[in-house]
Amino acid sequence: QVQLVESGGGLVQPGGSLRLSCSGSGFTLEYNTIGWFRQAPGKERGVVACISSSDSSTYYADSVKGRFTISRDNAKNTVYLQMNRLKPEDTAVYYCGADIEAMGITMISEEYTYWGQGTQVTVSS
């Protein structure tokens, strides 16, 4: 059974850090493009970061560039999103998705095949 599970969300003060994990079961994340998306109340789900399956190239939304880092640990079948210098506007439910057909970067959520259940990130003092 294919499954993605996110973890690592929580409440953090502005300027703080969190590391989100996206663990896979039933398939190998290394061979798939993996994206982190987020959805705030009243807003559409949008891409935060993505790592390709072909060469592990990365993409970041302008709003997180320089603060967030996406990475893989293939031995653990896990993709991480390290989030530093968090801002209140980063508050959202964060989802990881797997695009099993892509080899490069995919920024469109509709193209992703599998999704995790999401993890809440709240940035507030």
Place of tokens 């439910």: 93
Distance, CA of 23 to CA of 5 (rounded, Å): 5
pLDDT recorded at residue 104: 87
The burial of 41, by beta-carbon neighbours within 10 Å (0-12 exposed, 13-18 middle, 19 or more buried), is given as exposed
pLDDT recorded at residue 11: 98
pLDDT recorded at residue 117: 97
Contact at 8 Å (CB) between 78 and 98?
no
* Cα 76 from chain centre: 16
pLDDT recorded at residue 40: 96
pLDDT of the chain, 125 residues: tens digit per residue = 899 999 999 999 999 999 999 999 999 999 899 999 999 999 999 999 999 987 889 999 999 999 999 999 999 999 999 999 999 999 999 999 999 887 789 999 999 999 999 999 999 99
If DSSP codes are grouped into helix, strand and coil, which group holds residue 10? strand
- The DSSP bridge partners found for residue 59 are 50
